[in-house]
Amino acid sequence: MDYNVSREKRKLVSIKDIAQEAGVSPSTVSRALHNHPHISTETGERVQRLAHEMGYTPSLLARSLVTQDTATIGLVITYTADPFLSRLVQGVEETARNSGYSVFLSSSYRDYERELEVVRSFHERRTSGIIITGSQIDTDYLDLDDRFPLPIVLINCRTYPYSVSADKISGAKQAVEHLVQLGHRRIAFVSNAKLSTDLDRQTSYQQALREHDIPIDDTLVVEGDGMLESGVRAGQKLLSLPQPPTAIFCFNDMTAMGVLTALREADLQVPRDCSVVGFDDLEISAYLCPPLTTVRQPCYRMGQAAIRMLLQLIRGESGIQAEVLPTELIVRQTTGLAPKPS
């Protein structure tokens, strides 16, 4: 039999097809494919070889009916276009695949109702569990157990018991400490008021200033939304102050890129006139001009840790605790000594 037919013409191979070719019963093929001890080595090897040559793929639906596990994971992200999520998704998908699970991906667009709708659809699809990034619902899931009984792991929600987060408190402190060591005292912060995780960064920013006896100036804290355009607007607002900052710490790298654009449009040089620090360490950040100083979040490892935690929940293991992974300051060329007073 010629099995090297084109993919377009190839039909799905069934256990009956293999049985007919092998000259055995379908039940014998099924047992051989599952390494049943009552099947002889010779028959088992012949069936396995034929299944491979014929391109047989086990039915996940049939498997789920037997095991009550669809071997699928629902992954809810904020936006498919968010570059921060690419390495995180890669970590989830590769670790899931190595564990025999497939991943369904859907976006919430940072909308509460949309997130609920996506989570509900994953339940209807009988996924084995769900991972959510940038959740707008976060700890409210604890009150929704009766509606959503599947295991749920949140990413970057430290208050949720089953979560994996980067240490944003330490990361923000490292960023501010770095700027203080360079002599800066007017250090601004561009926030993202839409996210509860922003509070960690802002609180740590303020605490670091206090530790160095630097007064808190509310005019130096400007709200953004984590996107490039809001970074431009925030930069313009800060530069319009009677006494502009000499350094700007940004919620994320996208915001920092917008701030760099505002500084460039104002004919200011970085870092001579103003230093800028981002947060995330997107791949593009190392290739900006100048390359961006930023706080690195271990995105790939966060994805790995999230799927491992979810698999523990699926298996019904106990003693599972929230994980916080370390962040790291990556010093490049957008930070320098504070300009001397004119």
Instruction: Tell me the pLDDT tens digit for each residue of 197-254.
Output: 678 999 999 999 999 999 999 999 999 999 999 999 999 999 999 999 999 999 999 9
Say whether both 225 and 256 belong to one domain. yes
| Per-residue pLDDT reduced to its tens digit, 114-168 | 999 999 999 988 999 999 998 888 777 777 766 778 899 999 988 889 999 999 9
Cα four-point dihedral sign 144, 146, 147, 153? positive
Residue 13: predicted pLDDT: 78
Q: How many domains does the chain have?
A: 3
CA 209 – CA 216 distance, rounded (Å): 7
The structure tokens listed for 178 are 């770095």
CA 62 – CA 65 distance, rounded (Å): 5
Say whether both 292 and 185 belong to one domain. yes
Say whether both 182 and 285 belong to one domain. yes
Say whether both 278 and 308 belong to one domain. no
In this prediction, what percent of the chain has a pLDDT beyond 90?
A: 64
The structure tokens listed for 169 are 């408190």
Q: In sequence order, what are the beta bridge partners of 278?
A: 294
Residue 209: predicted pLDDT: 98
Please, what is the average pLDDT of the chain? 89
Residue partners of 189: CB distance under 8 A and separation at least 6:
201, 202, 205, 220, 221, 222, 248, 249, 250, 251
Say whether both 305 and 162 belong to one domain. yes
- Where does the pLDDT of residue 285 fall: very low under 50, low under 70, confident under 90, or very high at 90 and above? very high
Cα four-point dihedral sign 278, 281, 282, 286? positive
Say whether both 304 and 217 belong to one domain. no
Say whether both 172 and 293 belong to one domain. yes
Say whether both 20 and 52 belong to one domain. yes
What is the pTM (predicted TM-score) of this model? Answer: 0.79
Q: Residue 75: enclosing H or E segment and its boundaries?
A: strand 72-77
The structure tokens listed for 320 are 């599972």
**Would you say residue 275 lies in a domain?**
yes
**What is the DSSP code string of 219-230?**
GGEEEE-SSHHH
**What is the DSSP code string of 269-315?**
-TTTT-EEEEEE--GGGGGSSSPPEEEEP-HHHHHHHHHHHHHHHHT
ω into residue 37 within 30 of 0, thus cis? no
Lowest mean pLDDT among 16-25, 188-197, 330-339: 188-197
Say whether both 39 and 137 belong to one domain. no
Residue 69: predicted pLDDT: 66
CATH assignment at residue 248 = 3.40.50.2300
| Per-residue pLDDT reduced to its tens digit, 21-40 | 889 988 888 778 777 777 88
Say whether both 265 and 178 belong to one domain. yes
Say whether both 180 and 291 belong to one domain. yes
Say whether both 19 and 92 belong to one domain. no
**Would you say residue 172 lies in a domain?**
yes
**Would you say residue 189 lies in a domain?**
yes
* Helices 228-239, 253-265: crossing angle, 10 deg rounding: 50
Residue 229: predicted pLDDT: 96
Question: CB–CB of 275/336 below 8 Å?
Answer: yes
The structure tokens listed for 38 are 């009552």
**Would you say residue 82 lies in a domain?**
yes
For residue 331, pLDDT over 60 is answered with yes
Domain enclosing residue 126, as ranges = 67-166+299-325
- Where does the pLDDT of residue 16 fall: very low under 50, low under 70, confident under 90, or very high at 90 and above? confident
**Would you say residue 336 lies in a domain?**
no
Cα four-point dihedral sign 301, 304, 310, 312? negative
The structure tokens listed for 136 are 């707008």
**Would you say residue 174 lies in a domain?**
yes
- Where does the pLDDT of residue 52 fall: very low under 50, low under 70, confident under 90, or very high at 90 and above? confident
